[in-house]
Every structure is written in C-alpha cells, then in structure tokens.
Amino acid sequence: MSDTKGARKKLVEVKNLKMHFPIRTGLLRRVTGAVKAVDDVSFDIFEGETLGLVGESGCGKSTCGRAVLRLYEPTAGSIILDGEEIAHAPFDTLRRLRPKMQMVFQDPQASLNPRMTVASIIGEPLSEHSKMSSKDRLARIYELMDAVGLNRDFANRYPHEFSGGQRQRIGIARALALNPKFIVCDEPIAALDVSIQAQVVNLLEDLQDRLGLTYLFISHDLSMVRHIADRVVVMYLGKVAEIGPRDGLYDDPLHPYTRALLSAVPEPDPASHDTANRTILQGDVPSPANPPKGCNFSTRCPVAMPICHQVDPTMREVKPGRVVACHLYTETTNETAVHAAEPAGA
Amino acid sequence: MPDGATPFVLDVKDLKTVFRTRGGEVHAVNDVSFTLKPGELLGVVGESGSGKSVTMMSLIRLLPMPPAEIRGGQVMFEGEDLARVPEDAMRAIRGARIGMVFQDPMTSLNPVFSVGYQIMEPLRRHMGMSKRAAALRAVELMELVGINDAKRRLDDYPHQFSGGMRQRVMIAIALACDPKVLIADEPTTALDVTIQAQILELIKDLRQKLGMAIVWITHDLGVIAGIADRVMVMYGGQVVEQAPVRELFANPQHPYTRMLLETVPRITGERSEKLRVIQGQPPILSKAPESCAFRARCPQAFDRCAAQNPARYDVGADHDAACFWDFKTGAARDV
C-alpha cells in the first residue's frame, strides 16, 4: 500500500510501556496487587503505515491503544508521537497535541452522544480545537460527511436514525475533523455485519491513501488484520509475543502463540478443514493480575521447555524486521528445539 | 410425507413470524421451510436481522408473544406439529427432546444457582430423577463436555468459570436429557478464537458419541465451513440458498452467497488489495416480501426481481437457490 521504504519516519515510538491498574481490597481500600494490563510493551509505528495489533480478549490490546493516546496515565514507559514525548506530558502540551491523534471506537452506538445531531458530533472537535466561524465549520462538516460517504442532508439527524455501519462512518468523520496524523482504530468493525465490515475497511483504506494517515488497527479478527495491516503486533497477556511484517508473520509465524492463534482461525473453505493441522491450545488465558512465572504463555504453550517456566523471554530480532519473545529463538537453546516447534509435516 | 414415517427429525414448512411493534409490523420470518435429518448438522448463516435466530426461536416458541406472532406454518417434530401443541406440552419438549445453547454463556446461566444445580434441573424436571441420580449424571455430563475435576466443580457458581468453560456448562445442560435436536445459536461468537477452536472440537466429538441432529446458527462462514454438513443461507427473513456444505462453498448459486464469500478476507492464500463490497444496507422488513429482498444490492438484478419474489429453485443435487438468475447458463431462469 504505502511502501515508501528506505527513509521511513517513525511517527509513534512506544518504549517499555506499562499500564498497571491497582487492585484495592479491604475496608481501607489498600492496594494489594495490580492488573498488569500492559506490561513492558515496545513497538514503533512508521508514518503512513497500518500497524495491526491482535490478540484475544484481555490481552491488553485496547488498553495499549488507549494508553498510547494518553487516555490513561501510563504507569511507566515512554510514548513519542511525532518527536514529542507524551507519556508524562502536562495537560497543556497534551491538549496542543490532541488534534494530531484521534481514535475510532468499537461500538458506534455507545461512542456517539444520542442527544447530539450528526453535525454537532462531527463539529465538536472543531469548536474545541479551532477558531473557525460557524460558516466555515459547517462547510468542513459537509466536507467530512462527503469524505466518509454520508449524505449531507442527514446532518441534522440523530445517531439512532442510522445503521451500525453509518454510525461508524460518523465516528470516523469525527476522528478526521482536525486533520490528524495518527488514528487508533479500536476494533472499528467488530460490531458490524460481514457485508458492512468490508465497506468500513475500504473507507479506512481510501482515507489513508488520500490523507496519508497512520493507523494503529486493534482487532481480534486475524483475517481482517491480514487484509489491512502492513505490520502486525501479536499480544498475549499484556506482553508482545511477536512483531513482524504482515506477509512474513502470516506465512511463517515464529512464536508458538502466533502459530496456535493462526491455526485456530476457521477458514471459509470446507476443504481446508480436512487438511488443517490445528494446534488446539488447552486451557484458558491466565489472569493478568496473577501472571505465570517465566514466560506468560508457558502454561498453554505446546512446546514449553523448563526454562520457559523460570525466565521471562526478552524481545529479540531473529530475522530482519521479525521480533519475537520466545526462548526457542535465544542462543542458549539449541537448534533441535526450534525444529521441534515446527508444525509436524511442514 | 405428513405421516409418521418421515425421514426427518424436524420438518419445517412455510414458517411465518411477525413482530407487531408500535412502528408497524416487522416480517422477520417469511415462509421459511427446511428439514433436518437424524444426526445431521445444519448450518444457518446470515447477517443480523436476517431472521436466522427468530426462525429457530419460533419453532420452539421461545419468543415473547406478543409482540411476536407466528402467522403460519408447520413444524413437524416426532409426529407432532410444534406450531400447534399446547404450551405445557411444548414445555416438556423444550430442554428435553430439543436442547438449546445460546450465544452468551454469562447471561444464559443463572448467577445465583450453582452450576451443578443448573445441570441437574432438567434431569429432575424432565426425567424425574432423584437428587442423587441427577448429581451422578451431572458429573458424567460435565466430564463429557471436558470440565476437569467435575465432582468438585459441581458446587461452583457460573462466575467461577471462564467464558469457554461456561459454554461447556451450557452444552452439558442442553445435552442433559439426551435431545434429538440441539439448537445452537451463535454458541462460539462471544468466545476467543483459541477457545472457539476448543468448543468446535468438542461438538465434533460429541456428535460422534451421541448422534443428535444439530442446527448451528452463525454469521461466521469459517465456522460453518468446518462443522456443517449442510448449509442454509438466510437473507431478509427468507432462505435464499440451501446446499451441502462443499457444494455451497464451491458452487454458490445465489448472488448474495457468492458476494458474501468474496467479501470475507482469508488468512491464507491470495490477499486481495481491495475487499469486495456488498453495497447498500439490509432490507427493512415492514411488509411481506413482494419482490426479491436482495434486489437493491444485487449486481444481477433485472426487472423481474422487482415484480416477483423468487421461489427456491432446484439448482443441483439437494441444492436450491431463490434467484431468477441462472449462473450456470448465465441467463435469466426460464420458470
């Protein structure tokens, strides 16, 4: 899509981001623990690309997306947006930066105020962050409605008069109002029907091509992420399991979790189910309040080794652009372990 | 074959369900007919509002009436017409000879009763088992659906189970009385992919062991491809296509099915630059269909589609499609 390789500029740099939520118990509400929703996560997003962020529910992908926009106060770490540190920036700085970074939410029903008209929803960021006259503002609102494929005549209608797909278009128009550089799309299509999903995804892609947007696309839908993303981050229980370019990651997943995740996706093709060599993971995801010792995935990993229950693997680049946090790829473990992890018969 | 010797466990003919709301009528199910053979798994695919859930809820009469009203049709199950049996007879069938599993395992289990109690409830009610016998059977059922340490977990409450485990409990309850037919309404939609894979394996395994017939409602074509024997595609409250699973995916004959299969991105193989889009919105079902419901979004539509609602035409062995366009000849159907 937007392959301007060579001198690619990093628009967003996330380093060692931690987002812990305190657990309070007892009469005095003392902090007795923490839910480590995002635990030491690092990744970069290049200008003009779509970074897919995938994982199962509770893996921290949404928290991560919100923390990157400073909708939460991160516990630790650094977030650099377009050269400026925002992880611990004061309110004034943040407010100045807000127009650059916007968000599209999952549930278009819940993220639009039912008492506001479409025009006032889309125009709100404009009145908040710009000094446009009301005439200019209306012109901009119409322009945005055209851009996302909404009929101008509906500007004075209320959200409930629209279908799910159209509501998501309103949410996208609102996110675009201030000409942002970076948009976090948090499961923007999860609440929509299959035939409507394609409409919204195509719209997001068109807008990216036209406006040079950068997306962080959070989703649990691995096939849609394969369609839209240039690079993909796989999260498990608050940590990054693997980062890689789309084709490399889908064709040759390195982390055992990525492998299991991809093999669990049912393909809309009956013949593929006969030949599929599925890895069915046993058990459930552990609680992020009490993650297992060592590697987070060790309790469900089909190829776990003794070291996995002891030491938390670090992120390392094992091939150009392919970063993975797994002991199978550290030099201390031997080659045979890597081969043991290859899917049988491959 | 209205006599007792039908080869089907379930034979539904021209089922029609209407919701009467303040804003007017909603024709949610329009003349839906289908059959279910013993041991077969019928997949029902469609988008929200296509009538797939309402169809199944109508045939076991699990809809609030009013506003819902079953306007017509026949539902033959074990020699009885479920559309006509009195409510207390229906109660004896529901949960006993027809089991149900719903989408959300949190809201369909009662949070104030233990899981064991809820599995024992149909056993005691429908089978008249003693408390002890029911408890023994409940442990058996929990083991059957893959819940470890079943005896100890009998007294646990739903919140102590994870989403996937709760869905296993729901399946155990549905299977408790050894049903002839199991109706599963989006049973894996609320679950993560790795947990969904576990439940799909479980269902495949249970089918082999128990041999009941299953109606599996979903919007996920991937799930259907892996689990169904036969598939029925619904749109606008009607069945638009019906075929054995391989035939349907290899050789779809309704434009909606064809486009649906093209819009979903895949995880392997060729990656398309642009997703194929079905333009427009699903229909508003304010009156009984007089024309094809898919017409406004259909690239194949021609004048006849606006004048008449197509019947389901045979297009192959055990394969029918409700469309005036014949993709095999590339011309309008001569009927």
What digits encode the pLDDT tens for the residues A279-319?
Answer: 888 878 888 888 899 999 999 999 999 999 999 999 999 98
Distance, in Å, from the CA atom of A225 to the CA atom of A201, rounded to the nearest integer, reads 10
A264 vs B197: CB contact, 8 Å cut-off? Answer: yes
Mean pLDDT for A266-277 is 80
Distance, in Å, from the CA atom of B179 to the CA atom of B210, rounded to the nearest integer, reads 9
Residues of B in contact with A264 (CB under 8 A): 193-194, 196-197
Report the amino acid identity of residue A256: P
Encode pLDDT of B43-92 as tens digits: 999 888 888 889 998 988 888 888 888 888 899 998 888 888 898 888 88
End-to-end CA distance of chain A: 30
Mean pLDDT for A8-34 is 89
For residue B205, pLDDT over 80 is answered with yes
A264 vs B193: CB contact, 8 Å cut-off? Answer: yes
Instruction: Specify the range with the lowest mean pLDDT, choosing from A51-55, A77-81, B156-160.
Output: B156-160
For residue A274, pLDDT over 80 is answered with no
What pLDDT was estimated at residue B42?
95
Do B310 and B301 form a contact (C-beta atoms < 8 A)? no
For residue A175, pLDDT over 80 is answered with yes
Within 10 Å of residue B318's Cβ, how many Cβ atoms?
Answer: 10
For residue A332, pLDDT over 60 is answered with no
Interface mutation target, options B264, B271, B273, chain A, most CBs of A under 10 Å: B264
Mean pLDDT for B187-197 is 83
Say what percent of chain A tops pLDDT 70.
93
- Band (B257; pLDDT cuts 50, 70, 90): very high
Do A237 and A295 form a contact (C-beta atoms < 8 A)? no
A34 vs A117, more confident:
A117
Residues of B in contact with A260 (CB under 8 A): 194
ipTM over 0.90: no
A237 touches chain B (CB under 8 A): no
- CA-based R_g, chain B, Å: 21
For residue B106, pLDDT over 80 is answered with no
B259 touches chain A (CB under 8 A): yes
Give this prediction's pTM.
0.84
Encode pLDDT of B133-166 as tens digits: 899 989 988 888 888 888 888 899 988 888 778 8
Say what percent of chain B tops pLDDT 70.
98
Do A172 and A204 form a contact (C-beta atoms < 8 A)? yes
Mean pLDDT for A133-155 is 91
For residue A334, pLDDT over 60 is answered with no
CB nearest B261 (choices: A57, A196, A268): A268
B148 touches chain A (CB under 8 A): no
Report the amino acid identity of residue B281: Q
Residues of B in contact with A266 (CB under 8 A): 196-197, 200, 220, 222-223, 225-226
Residues 175-234 of A with CB under 8 A from B: 193-199, 201-202, 205, 220, 222-224, 226-227
Nearest CA to A108 out of A186, A35, A17 is that of A186
Encode pLDDT of A205-240 as tens digits: 999 999 999 999 999 999 999 999 999 999 999 999
Beta-sheet strands, E only, within chain B: 10-21, 24-36, 41-45, 68-77, 80-81, 98-101, 181-185, 213-218, 230-235, 238-244, 313-316, 319-321, 325-326, 331-332
Q: Give residues with Cβ within 8 angstroms of B174, minimum separation 6.
A: B95, B99, B100, B101, B182, B184
Mean pLDDT for B308-328 is 91
- Spell out the SS3 assignment of chain A: CCCCCCCCCEEEEEEEEEEEEEEEECCCCEEEEEEEEEEEEEEEEECCCEEEEECCCCCCHHHHHHHHCCCCCCCEEEEEECCEECCCCCHHHHHHHHHHEEEECCCCCCCCCCCCCHHHHHHHHHHHHCCCCHHHHHHHHHHHHHHCCCCHHHCCCCHHHCCHHHHHHHHHHHHHCCCCCEEEEECCCCCCCHHHHHHHHHHHHHHHHHHCCEEEEEECCHHHHHHHCCEEEEEECCEEEEEEEHHHHHHCCCCHHHHHHHHHCCCCCHHHHHHCCCCCCCCCCCCCCCCCCCCCCCCCCCCCCHHHHCCCCCCEEEECCEEECCHHHCCCCCHHHHHHHCCCCC
Nearest CA distance, B226 vs chain A (angstrom)? 5
Nearest CA distance, A33 vs chain B (angstrom)? 20
Do B192 and A237 form a contact (C-beta atoms < 8 A)? no
Q: What is the pLDDT of chain A when averaged over all its residues?
A: 88
Mean pLDDT for B92-116 is 86
Distance, in Å, from the CA atom of A249 to the CA atom of A230, rounded to the nearest integer, reads 11
What pLDDT was estimated at residue A33?
85
Distance, in Å, from the CA atom of B77 to the CA atom of B59, rounded to the nearest integer, reads 10
For residue B4, pLDDT over 60 is answered with no
